[in-house]
Amino acid sequence: MREDLQAVRRRVLGLWTSRTVCGLLAVACGLRLNRIIRLRDAGRLGEDEALRLALETECVARMFRPLPSDEAPRLISL
């Protein structure tokens, strides 16, 4: 089965929504994937090149775990 760009985009979105990776990086990678898809659709990228770039982008999205919350722990729960 061959990968497709939309499947890669869905996986990156899933990483972001599950908070298993850095959200800032996942959002940026999602924007990059949208651009790759637009460039492919406009004929400026071939199918193989677009897929290679998309898979590289997915790898980047997986590079960093999320940082801990910057909220101070509550001593009293109201």
Residue 23: half-sphere exposure toward Cβ, Cα within 13 Å: 6
How many percent of the chain have pLDDT more than 70?
A: 88
* CA–CA gap between residue 2 and residue 17 (Å, rounded): 25
For CA atoms 53, 6, 35, 30, the dihedral sign is negative
Helix/strand/coil (H/E/C) assignment for every residue in 13-42: HHHHHCCCCCHHHHHHHHHHHHHHHHHHHC
Q: What is the pLDDT of residues 37-64, one digit of tens each?
A: 999 999 999 999 999 999 999 999 999 9
Q: Which residue has the tokens 């460039």?
A: 39
Confidence of residue 76 (pLDDT cuts 50, 70, 90): low
Confidence of residue 69 (pLDDT cuts 50, 70, 90): confident
